[in-house]
Chain A
Amino acid sequence: MNVFAEAFAWLFDPANWEGPDGIGARLAFHVVFSLAVVAGATIVALPIGVLIGHTGRGREPAVVVSGALRALPTLGLLTILALAMGLSVLAPYLALVVLAIPSVLAGAYAGVGGVSRTTVDAARAMGMTEGQIVLRVEAPLGLPTVIGGIRSAVLQVVATATLAAYIGGGGLGTYLFSGLKTGNYPMVLGVSMLIIALALVLDGAFALTQRLVVPEGVRVRRGTARLRSRPSRPRAAMG
């Protein structure tokens, strides 16, 4: 228990939070950097995922490619990128974008593709263009699942963004590397708890968003959940 007490002492010592190398600055960098990574991954993967979900084509290649991307070890990728383009924050950024793409992609095609084809056909029969179908029917109905994909990407990236410190990129990982090498385990534990808390907070925020964006028409009241369909949850949809 002693280490826990020391870890909390480290974490709540105001002196550790100050300055450009303090917890505050590194935490801020960590959050901004992680969200920027997920934003980058979303810009790349969302249009592709929506297209796959809407047309129903290319789903298998997408599954294969995102499976392969998931299997890439991020640290290895980071090293190769840093060797190729120098040690800047860009190398960890790209490596983490690659890590985040599969989740966002899967959420997007599962969300859009999971919208009932009957509903889509009805929209088409009413004379909606394909663009209108995507924007007005599939997007709102699939949104909770799409956001679910982004949500799991955020969770992965916040935890893995610690690797940015491997090449001097900064963020909370700096404390991990330095603490592990010098045997400062209270600091390692303290910063780990901080990262966990950060991940939980962000995950909670996304869970809330996910709930709020369920369209009124398909919202399920408590107690009737088993009777009516609801857009599938991201995890189940991604397998």
Chain B
Amino acid sequence: MIGSQDYYSNEIIAEIYAQALEANDYEVEREFRIGQREVYLPELEAGEIDLFPEYTGNLLQFWEPETEARTSDDVYAALEAAVPEGLRVLDQSEATDQDSYNVTKAFSDEFGVTSLDDLAGVTEPITLGGNAELETRPYGPAGLEETYGVKVGFTAIEDSGGALTVKALVDDQVQMVNIYSADPNIAANDLVTLEDPKGLFLASNVVPLASEKVTDEIAEIINAVSAAMTPADLVAMNDRSVNGQESADDIAADWLAEQDLF
């Protein structure tokens, strides 16, 4: 039984796992788009779901909100230790999908900002846009001030970095927005993703979360998938979903055919 978050990109990855296993003659049941961690993690722990695409940083922060780990390897190591009994994480992929702060090209050029460190030199007030929960997240306005000494205002826009968020940014109603790093909207709107040299955000690589029913043979197949998936692959697949309106099914099948793993 494979599950996925209620997030199109996550569903594509789950579909890839499913098709990879089917290509190796395993029988797979799909239970996609089941909401957020609060909902599906209990089901994984109860053994209702056996395999689930996750993101190292966000998952670690769910179990250990105070974690100090920031780099990809640290986060993965901490995550391996934090996973509850009965579950394990398989190898993490190079592909990442994490929170990131983005500004318009014009803003970046005007103030010479390419990294969060440069924000201190911006003379105009900055308002940050993102989902309401961002205001209370460790990497939200409070974290920005603590880590980079930048004070920002906050406007809640509830579409998870979608079209409305981009619109607010382009219209200069907010000057910086939180968009997932694998979102094709970043390139499509010529946005600049600010670098994060001091590690405000946790690295968040794609990682499969598995139950005990996932045998070593199955793990090997999924690990091969994770090893083959690059960050650019993920962005390209997301782009086909968002801008091409293609189904997760087709996108997953095409990617697997391209990789020729099995």
Q: Interface residues, chain A, CB within 8 Å of chain B? A: 79, 82-83, 86-88, 165-168, 174, 177-178, 181-183
| Residue pair A177, B167 in contact (C-beta under 8 Å) | no
| Residue pair B136, A168 in contact (C-beta under 8 Å) | no
User: Within the assembled complex, what's the spacing in Å between the Cα atoms of A174 and B156?
Assistant: 8
Minimal beta-carbon separation of A191 from chain B (angstroms): 12
Interface presence of B129 (CB below 8 A): yes
Contacts of A165 in B (CB 8 A): 132, 156, 158
User: Within the assembled complex, what's the spacing in Å between the Cα atoms of A166 and B131?
Assistant: 9
| Residue pair A168, B156 in contact (C-beta under 8 Å) | yes
| Residue pair A168, B129 in contact (C-beta under 8 Å) | yes
User: Within the assembled complex, what's the spacing in Å between the Cα atoms of A188 and B116?
Assistant: 33
| Residue pair B135, A167 in contact (C-beta under 8 Å) | no
Interface presence of B133 (CB below 8 A): yes
| Residue pair B155, A168 in contact (C-beta under 8 Å) | yes
Q: Which residues of chain B (135-192) have a CB below 8 Å from chain A?
A: 135-136, 155-159, 163-164, 167-168, 171, 173
Residues A174 and B164 in contact in the complex (CB < 8 Å), given A86-B171, A168-B157, A183-B38: no
| Residue pair B131, A181 in contact (C-beta under 8 Å) | yes
* 5 chain-A/chain-B pairs, Cβ below 8 angstroms: A83-B163, A83-B167, A86-B173, A88-B173, A178-B133
Q: Which chain B residue lies CB-closest to A181? A: B133
Contacts of B133 in A (CB 8 A): 178, 181-182
Contacts of A83 in B (CB 8 A): 163-164, 167
- Which of B136, B159, B164, B171 has its CB near the most chain A CB atoms (within 10 A)? B164
User: Within the assembled complex, what's the spacing in Å between the Cα atoms of A87 and B156?
Assistant: 11
Q: How many A-B residue pairs have CB under 8 A?
A: 53
User: Within the assembled complex, what's the spacing in Å between the Cα atoms of A167 and B164?
Assistant: 8
User: Within the assembled complex, what's the spacing in Å between the Cα atoms of A88 and B38?
Assistant: 32
User: Within the assembled complex, what's the spacing in Å between the Cα atoms of A182 and B132?
Assistant: 9
| Residue pair B132, A178 in contact (C-beta under 8 Å) | yes
Minimal beta-carbon separation of A110 from chain B (angstroms): 37
Minimal beta-carbon separation of A34 from chain B (angstroms): 19
Residue among A79, A86, A87, A181 making CB contact with B132, cutoff 8 Å: A181
Contacts of B132 in A (CB 8 A): 165, 174, 177-178, 181
Interface size on B, residues (CB 8 A): 18
| Residue pair B173, A182 in contact (C-beta under 8 Å) | no
User: Within the assembled complex, what's the spacing in Å between the Cα atoms of A174 and B164?
Assistant: 16
Contacts of A178 in B (CB 8 A): 132-133, 135-136, 156
User: Within the assembled complex, what's the spacing in Å between the Cα atoms of A108 and B244?
Assistant: 46
| Residue pair B38, A167 in contact (C-beta under 8 Å) | no
User: Within the assembled complex, what's the spacing in Å between the Cα atoms of A86 and B166?
Assistant: 10
Minimal beta-carbon separation of B189 from chain A (angstroms): 13
User: Within the assembled complex, what's the spacing in Å between the Cα atoms of A79 and B164?
Assistant: 7
User: Within the assembled complex, what's the spacing in Å between the Cα atoms of A232 and B111?
Assistant: 65
Q: Which residues of chain B (44-82) have a CB below 8 Å from chain A?
A: none
Q: Which chain B residue lies CB-closest to A183? A: B38
Contacts of A181 in B (CB 8 A): 131-133
User: Within the assembled complex, what's the spacing in Å between the Cα atoms of A88 and B172?
Assistant: 12
User: Within the assembled complex, what's the spacing in Å between the Cα atoms of A83 and B38?
Assistant: 31
User: Within the assembled complex, what's the spacing in Å between the Cα atoms of A235 and B239?
Assistant: 48
Contacts of A79 in B (CB 8 A): 159, 163-164
Contacts of A183 in B (CB 8 A): 38
Minimal beta-carbon separation of B131 from chain A (angstroms): 6
Residues A82 and B136 in contact in the complex (CB < 8 Å), given A167-B158, A177-B156: no
Minimal beta-carbon separation of B125 from chain A (angstroms): 16
Q: Which chain B residue lies CB-closest to A170? A: B156
User: Within the assembled complex, what's the spacing in Å between the Cα atoms of A86 and B158?
Assistant: 15
Minimal beta-carbon separation of A216 from chain B (angstroms): 51
Minimal beta-carbon separation of A63 from chain B (angstroms): 33
Contacts of B157 in A (CB 8 A): 87, 166-168
Q: Which 9 pairs between the two chains have the least Cβ-Cβ distance?
A: A178-B132, A181-B133, A168-B155, A177-B132, A166-B158, A87-B168, A182-B133, A168-B156, A86-B171
Minimal beta-carbon separation of B178 from chain A (angstroms): 13
Residues A177 and B173 in contact in the complex (CB < 8 Å), given A86-B167, A168-B129: no
Contacts of B163 in A (CB 8 A): 79, 83
- Which of A165, A167, A168, A178 has its CB near the most chain B CB atoms (within 10 A)? A168
User: Within the assembled complex, what's the spacing in Å between the Cα atoms of A239 and B156?
Assistant: 39
Q: Which chain A residue lies CB-closest to B133? A: A181
B105-140 CB contact bits vs A (8 Å, 1 = yes)? 000000000000000000000000101110110000
User: Within the assembled complex, what's the spacing in Å between the Cα atoms of A174 and B154?
Assistant: 12
Contacts of B159 in A (CB 8 A): 79, 166
User: Within the assembled complex, what's the spacing in Å between the Cα atoms of A165 and B159?
Assistant: 11
